[in-house]
Amino acid sequence: MANSELEAPAEQAGHECDDYVVPTTLSALQEWAFDPDGLPRAVSAVELAIVTKAKEQSPHAHRKAQLIVPIRGLVSCEVANGMWIVPSQSGLWIPSNMVHSLRSSGDVDLYITFLEPVFVPELPSRCGTITVSPLLRELVIRLSTLPLLYEDSGPNIRLIHTLLDELKAAPMEYLHLPIPDDPRLRRIARELMADPGNRIPAGEWARRVCMSERNLFRLTLQATGMTFGRWCRQLQIMLALERLAGGEPVQTVAFDLGYESASSFITMFRKTLGLSPAKYIAARQSWS
């Protein structure tokens, strides 16, 4: 690839690597014509630092598949039919050509690995969160330190093969909120996101979207695979994790989500994710 195709202005943040300038901030990645799909390597990685309260990347897609690994902070990703949250110690798998948008909460350090689809045929064709082992995390970090046009032989290739083996073995996590195409359920989701403390009962939601409560329950289960109550709780978990990762106290988050006490919120959180909010966030932060 010609050097001029990826020439960056001098004032934009980056590290020079052979014929490329590697962006080290999200703004540099967005504002400069960085083209990971055009890199002549099967696997490549880049580190990004996001130092803002909230940053959103507009919908886009890459020919290559992606693995996004936050080391600090929390990232959420939305596609046409769902939303995922990605705290530290987890990773987000995005298949090739999948239109998606990314949003960060608080200060975030993350690594994005780009992979040629032919090298990951066993991995899912849908987005999903995975558990990132210590080895997988260190392999991603090590890969990001290589020149983008690294020598594709010897130790580098062994590094790539080990990374692929770890990625294929990584267990999936359940940090997903299905967002159905049905406009009635999308309306409910939008209103809950705008006012997560809303305690409107299911019957009232059904009336608002002009259907019976029984049909609402049936539609939600059919469209999301969850009961209506479970779907609403999953949305609350998503919103809660985003705010907890930003440093807000558990009690504040609990009250804003409509819980009468922090203990009732903690009980719901523990039943859903297996840990209390404090232990869940502490476990992620211990990796940073």
Full DSSP string of 118-183: GG-TTS-SS-EEEE--HHHHHHHHHHHTS-TT---STHHHHHHHHHHHHHHHPPEE--EEE--S-H
Task: Select the more confidently predicted residue: 13 or 119.
Answer: 119
pLDDT at position 59: 86
Pick the last residue of a domain from 136, 155, 173: 173
Among 1-5, 34-38, 92-96, 239-243, the minimum mean pLDDT is found in 1-5
pTM: 0.67
Over range 173-179, report the average pLDDT.
77
Domain count along the chain:
2
Core vs surface per residue 78-107: b (16+ CB within 10 A) or e: bbeebbbbbbbbbbbbbbbebebebbbbbe
Q: Is 167 within 8 Å of 143 (Cβ atoms)?
A: no
* CB neighbour list of residue 271: distance below 8 Å, 6 or more residues apart: none
Neighbouring C-alpha atoms within 13 Å toward the C-beta of 249? 6
What is the percent of the chain with per-residue pLDDT over 90, rounded to a whole number? Answer: 36
Q: Are residues 7 and 89 in the same domain?
A: yes
Residues of the domain holding 133: 3-173
Over range 160-170, report the average pLDDT.
93
Q: Are residues 126 and 248 in the same domain?
A: no
Q: Are residues 258 and 154 in the same domain?
A: no
Q: Are residues 61 and 142 in the same domain?
A: yes
Pick the last residue of a domain from 173, 203, 233: 173
Q: Are residues 38 and 132 in the same domain?
A: yes
**Residue 154 forms beta bridges with which residues?**
none
Q: Are residues 261 and 119 in the same domain?
A: no
What's the CATH number where 242 sits? 1.10.10.60
Over range 113-142, report the average pLDDT.
90
Q: Are residues 150 and 279 in the same domain?
A: no
Q: Are residues 116 and 48 in the same domain?
A: yes
Q: Is 70 within 8 Å of 109 (Cβ atoms)?
A: yes
Q: How wide is the angle at C-alpha 55 spanned by C-alphas 52 and 60, nearest 5°?
A: 150
pLDDT at position 39: 87
pLDDT at position 285: 59
Q: Are residues 155 and 23 in the same domain?
A: yes
Pick the last residue of a domain from 144, 173, 202: 173
Angle at which helix 277-285 crosses helix 228-245, to 10 degrees, equals 50
pLDDT at position 53: 54
Q: Are residues 107 and 147 in the same domain?
A: yes
Strand, coil or helix: what is 63?
coil
Over range 213-221, report the average pLDDT.
96
Over range 115-133, report the average pLDDT.
88
Q: Are residues 25 and 73 in the same domain?
A: yes
pLDDT at position 184: 93
Whole-angstrom Cα distance, residue 112 to residue 31? 17
User: At which residue do the structure tokens 């909120």 appear?
Assistant: 177
Q: Are residues 185 and 160 in the same domain?
A: no
Measure the CA dihedral 201/202/207/213, to 10°: -150
pLDDT at position 56: 66
Whole-angstrom Cα distance, residue 39 to residue 45? 11
What's the CATH number where 130 sits? 2.60.120.280
pLDDT at position 48: 84
